[in-house]
A and B are shown apart, each in its own frame.
Chain A
Amino acid sequence: MRIEDIQVPGKLSKTETELRVSFLEHVGMIPGGEKLKACIQCGTCTGSCPVSYAMDIPPRELIALFRAGDLETIFRSNSIWTCASCYACQVRCPAAIKITDIIYALKQTAMERKIYSRKFPVHAIYNAFMKNMRRFGRLNEPRLMTYYFLISGFWKAFAFLPLAFRMAVKGRLDYRASKIKDIKNLRKILKAAEQLDMPVEYEVKPYMESAVGYKAVG
């Protein structure tokens, strides 16, 4: 947030407004996503999370920060990339908030707006996966790892060589990617779907009470 924004109380920065619209659009896709407003800040999610010790902002605080109108802080933290998708928080939440799915919505917004800390290589594996999908229609793990190492740093591959060797001995490493027969049509589906998934340009709105906190989700 720029200093001018802080000096004018109640004004959201351009990025913040854009982020909120984008995030809320993703939340709108989740069945029951609007329950986000029902958070009572009890901390069951943080307590259930097996990786909250490694997050700089635990799940409960993610929701608090969203409410306070500070999504940018969330995206600059490692939290959303540390989530292992175990859904422990989601099934235990007394307010039935789909926390894991909301973290997914945060990830989608971050990837869309390219706001993530460069320290975390997670986005690299995401890109590698999508490339693999478009090319073969099926996932080939050794190729995925190769792409990943090329993007995130090839020296990391050396630590994986002994493991790759052991896998190969047991007949569990297959570098030949199997391509699906109907790959052309799959690519057509991917193209059509990606167009609907594309980020839309948002106009910057001035601060409104309805854009922050509970009111933002209706």
Chain B
Amino acid sequence: MQYTYYPGCSLHSAHKGYDESCKSVFEALGCSLQELPDWNCCGATIYMSNREFTSLAVAARNLALAEAQQQDLVAPCSACYRVLNKSNHYFHNSGELLEKVNGCLAEAGLHYCGTVRVRHPLDVLINDVGLEIIRHQVKKPLHGLKIANYYGCQIVRPEHVFDDCENPMTMDNLFESLGAENVYFPFKVSCCGGMLMTTTENVALRLSKEILENARENAADCIVTTCPLCQMNLEAYQRRINRVYGTRLSMPILFFTQVMGVALGIDEKRLGISRNFYRCERLETIARSASESHYATTVNA
């Protein structure tokens, strides 16, 4: 299976670990990712909420470039995924809008017909590759690892394309089949504060604190997420949360592809786990252990 890959700005700078692990996991499962040539920033929430039409035109440039590749577009960053998906949705709804946008794209010699499908890696892994095939590739089952699955807002809302918007289960099912234990985690789709962390910090710190504390109360070893901004807020601001609220949190926050990569027996260096601030000891023990080749058969029996 071949996909066009749209890494987005944050995967090229602050979240290289997500980029590296995403590529490694797809490669291990026999899917190839080809980076979209000369992609531009999707515009993110900021552009979308401020200059809507301009943001649609900016997103349309990426979609038009992706259309030439004739493959599904995979966007791992939740904000990119949501913006590209939402713009696509707008274009499907209004031919007039698409025409106007095409008028702008024509300045650069581009044209978008509206045929691209925007996908999230989680969606691709569950619905295209399938849990059965993933389970057969497991080299180091995640036995004993307690995971809090944190989906964040933007992959399930506002359009719930591949999962429920109040109680998504795709990531829970994925890690269950990899042998991990999912802890009770009612904050799985709560907001971490997003962009507010820079502008109205006190509000965002409180939201992030609630998520982190809930994961700790439920004895999770780590929080696993799909969104770079959530990872940043929960991980990089933990010290500040500890200072402001007097808590003693040191919760590792990992990307779902990083944890998955460990289960698939991929070398830690190719997953960028060392780029995270907090080490997850149980995951490191699993990564060091010898690989088991009979995992899929034992599960089936």
Q: Does A pair with B?
A: yes
Residues of chain A whose beta carbon lies under 8 Å from any beta carbon of chain B = 26, 29, 31, 50-51, 54, 81-82, 84-88, 90-91, 98, 100-101, 103-105, 107-108, 111, 120-122, 125-126, 129-130, 133, 137-142, 145, 148, 163, 166-167, 170-174, 178, 180-182, 185-186, 188-194, 196-197
CA A122 – CA B197 in complex, angstroms? 11
Q: Which of A85, A171, A186, A192 contacts B194 (CB 8 A)?
A: A85
The A interface is mostly helix, strand or loop, or mixed, namely helix
Interface size counted on chain B using CB atoms at 8 A: 67
Interface pair A122/B40, CB less than 8 Å apart: no
State whether B108 touches A51 (Cβ < 8 A): no
- How far is B104's CA from A98's CA once the two chains are assembled, in angstroms? 27
Which residues of A lie under 8 Å from residue B40 when comparing CB positions? Answer: 137-138, 180, 186
Contact A173 B277 (CB under 8 A): no
Query: Nearest residue in A to B94 (C-beta to C-beta)?
Result: A31
Contact partners of B160 in chain A: CB under 8 A: 91
Q: Is the CB of B10 within 8 A of A84?
A: no
Would you call B49 and A108 a contact (CB within 8 A)?
A: yes
Query: Nearest chain-A residue to B108 (Cβ)?
Result: A185
Q: List 15 A-B contacts (CB under 8 A).
A: A29-B53, A50-B191, A86-B153, A86-B157, A88-B157, A120-B200, A130-B50, A138-B9, A138-B41, A163-B237, A170-B277, A185-B108, A193-B101, A193-B104, A197-B53
Interface of B is mostly: helix
Q: Mark B181-216, 1 if CB is under 8 A from A, else 0.
A: 000000000110111101110111001000000000
Specify which chain A residues have a CB less than 8 angstroms from the CB of B94 in the assembled complex: 31
Q: Nearest CB to that of A124 among chain B residues?
A: B199
Closest to B65 in A: A182
B47 touches A86 (CB 8 A): no
A138 to B207, CA, bound (A): 29
Q: Does B54 contact A (CB under 8 A)?
A: yes
B9 touches A140 (CB 8 A): yes
Chain A residues positioned under 8 Å from B113 (CB to CB): none
CB neighbours (8 Å) of A103 from chain B are 49
Give B44-56 as 1s and 0s: 1 = Cβ < 8 Å from A's Cβ atoms: 1111111111101
State whether A141 and B14 are in contact (beta carbons under 8 Å apart), knowing that A125-B46, A189-B104 are contacts in the complex: yes
CA distance A190 to B40 in the complex (A): 12
CB proximity of A145 to chain B, nearest CB, Å? 7
B192 to chain A, nearest CB (A): 8
- The distance from the CB of A124 to the nearest CB of chain B, in whole angstroms, is 8
Interface pairs A-B: 4 shortest CB-CB: A185-B108, A86-B191, A87-B157, A193-B57
Is there contact, CB below 8 Å, between A31 and B107?
no
Q: With A91-B157, A91-B158, A141-B13 given, is the CB distance from A108 to B41 under 8 Å?
A: no
Chain B residues within an 8 Å CB radius of A29: 52-53, 97
Chain B residues near A90 (CB, 8 Å)?
A: 157-158
- A137–B48 Cα distance when bound, in Å, is 15
B54's contact among A142, A180, A197, by CB below 8 Å, is which? A197
Query: How near does chain A come to B65, taking the closest CB pair, in angstroms?
Result: 9
- B14 lies within 8 A of A86 (CB): no
Q: Please name all residues of chain B whose beta carbon is closer than 8 Å to the beta carbon of A87 when the two chains form the complex.
A: 153-154, 157-158
In chain B, residues 70-93, which have Cβ atoms closer than 8 Å to a Cβ of chain A?
A: 89-90, 93
In the bound complex, residues from chain A placing their C-beta under 8 Å from that of B200 are 54, 81-82, 120, 122
Output the residue of A51, A86, A101, A196 with the most chain B CB within 10 A: A86
Chain A residues with Cβ below 8 Å from B46 are: 125-126, 129
**Cα(A140)–Cα(B49), bound, Å:** 19
Residues of B within 8 A of A104 (CB): 48-49, 52
Residues of A within 8 A of B131 (CB): none
A84 touches B58 (CB 8 A): no
Supposing A86-B153, A170-B277, A188-B107 touch, asked if A133 and B41 sit within 8 A by C-beta, the answer is: yes
Contacts of B16 in A (CB 8 A): 171-172
Known interface pairs A100-B158, A121-B199, A171-B275; 14 further A-B residue pairs with C-beta atoms within 8 A, sorted by A's residue number? A26-B52, A31-B89, A31-B93, A82-B196, A122-B199, A125-B195, A130-B50, A166-B277, A180-B38, A186-B108, A189-B108, A196-B53, A196-B100, A197-B52
Does B280 interact with chain A (Cβ within 8 Å)? no
A142 CA to B12 CA in the complex, in Å? 13
Residue B165 lies at the interface, judged by CB distance under 8 Å to chain A:
yes
- Docked pose: A138 CA to B9 CA in angstroms: 6
Q: How far is the CB of B149 from chain A (nearest CB, A)?
A: 17
Given that A31-B89, A163-B236 are contacting pairs, would A108 and B108 also be in contact in the complex, using a CB cutoff of 8 Å? no
